[in-house]
C-alpha cells in the first residue's frame, strides 16, 4: 500500500497562511483521487478538499476561496495552500489517497491558528 506523509503544519496567527504537503511513497497518480481532511478536538473528521485523477477539485464550503489543492508531478506531492486562516481552521490535517474501500491515510499534521 502507498504510504502518505504530511508536512507543513504549524502555528500561525489568524489571517496568515500555510501550505501543507502530502508526499507519497508511490505515484500520486496511482490514486483515483486524493484529498485533505481535518479533525478538530471533539469533532468528527471532515473533508476539506479533493482532487480527482483528472484534476477536478472540490472544497467544503467553509474553505472555498481560501484553500487550494494542487498536485506537484515533479515532487510527487499533493499540496493544500491555506490562506486567510481562521481559528476555526485549527485541526489535525490528514492526507487521504483513494476513493475505494481501503484508502491510504497519512499520520496527520497539526495546524493551529491563534486569534
At 31-86, the pLDDT tens digits run 999 999 999 999 999 999 999 999 999 999 999 999 999 999 999 999 999 999 99
Cβ partners under 8 Å of residue 56, min gap 6: none
Phi-psi region of 55 (alpha: psi -120 to 50; beta: other; left: phi over 0): left
**Can you read off the three cell numbers belonging to residue 3?**
504510504
Measured between alpha carbons, how far is 95 from 21 in angstroms, rounded to an integer?
9
Kindly tell me the sign of the dihedral angle through the C-alpha atoms of 72, 51, 102, 61: positive
30 three-class SS = helix
- Higher pLDDT, residue 1 or 94: 94
State the pLDDT confidence band at 90, using cuts at 50, 70 and 90: very high
Query: Which residue's entry shows cell 515532487?
Result: 75
Amino acid at each position: 500500500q502507498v504510504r502518505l506523509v504530511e508536512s507543513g503544519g504549524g502555528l500561525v496567527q489568524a489571517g496568515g497562511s500555510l501550505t501543507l504537503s502530502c508526499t507519497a511513497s508511490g505515484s500520486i497518480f496511482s490514486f483515483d483521487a486524493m484529498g485533505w481532511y481535518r479533525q478538530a478536538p471533539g469533532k468528527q473528521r471532515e473533508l476539506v478538499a479533493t482532487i480527482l485523477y483528472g484534476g477536478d477539485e472540490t472544497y467544503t464550503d467553509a474553505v472555498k476561496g481560501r484553500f487550494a489543492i494542487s498536485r506537484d508531478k515533479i515532487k510527487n506531492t499533493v499540496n493544500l495552500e491555506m490562506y486567510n486562516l481562521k481559528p476555526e481552521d485549527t485541526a489535525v490535517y490528514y492526507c487521504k489517497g483513494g476513493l475505494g474501500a481501503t484508502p491510504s491515510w497519512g499520520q496527520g499534521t497539526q495546524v493551529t491558528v491563534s486569534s
